[in-house]
Structure 1
């Protein structure tokens, strides 16, 4: 997996295709009903995931927190006759993506990603098959990055002065669709990691690394991954100041 940082790059801005702009809206979801719809669209049951991994969070003394963003399919006729909120409420959630704060546990790999205060982890991104390759995911990702990233040292999220709120993700190089979808938003990389799991055994090792950001994994393997997962962090490479590493 390639560990990449996503941000508002040259791909950011309004969609080039006006039809795409008229057909999709995206925002963070808040209600239980909408969260359930995002869970169905992304095939990710956040509630059960957190419940099953609660003992890991307790052991780490760090309760994970998650949020979801959804993309809604709307019609131009709806937008012309209804307010944005009314149009969204009557439209269909056709995809979504999740972000984690503090920590995220990849249960299938027995991997726990520990996040700094100014870091977010993007995961479980999925579009309904009939909506793929139509620009909907770009609308969704653009909205998330606009809402979650900031370079303001007085940011209300509590990031320290000089720290930029970062969104990180793991991209599987073999998943060409995912590589293409995120290519225009990849602004930095921390390198590549490799993991495999057989039953309770999980093993991890690092591949190509970045000169700017470092991935740390400890331990390198575990026999008890459900209770003691491999833990991963992303931080500035040794010898770089925070401001330098965060400016890439």
Structure 2
């Protein structure tokens, strides 16, 4: 039975994370689920994001996944804690290490990033560029405080960036204005900011424009490589989970919207041609 590592996102952005995970850990099977029919998650309420995310996580478990990565900052911010603390123990008793049942785990993209972000800054001041939902959750402020209590964190919501990427305008001259606007706004909060975190999985496609808009020497972090490295470490430290993940090198893709549309846009994020199937929720 195929037991892939599940990767979930509200749309396409999580494919930038999956791309880096596959580069780092190519031997595993992966099942990607994009909830494109209900994207974007960013402006939605905590309760709605939680319900949508839980529904998709349960489907990935039903498809054989034992480990699911929420490759979505909004879902990680608004849903992960409830799923980990409330739903896994009640819905899947095997998630309890004391149980003899199959273990199940759900991980996000916020914690792996916050565990290392302080090592990149020389000044002790970092900026977080994210969606409105992620900024409002203050998840990065809370998590960074746990690992780097002396780090000063500034946030800026960039509501136009995801639509620019999803409509194929991210590399056009018109995107320059919106990128420069938000980079200027976050840097105006402190002259000490020397590190910018792209806390949305769509934003790596704007990396070149963000780098051009920021001062020379600014460190700009994308999450994909960080998450991939931390996942590799997690699997080493949790052999019971690792042993349940099958290793045939298969890549499967599901979307809650049109597979034709998904396949056309997914190539931009994943870097390779994909062939998806429709999932009706």
Fold shared per TM-score above 0.5: no
Higher strand residue share: 1
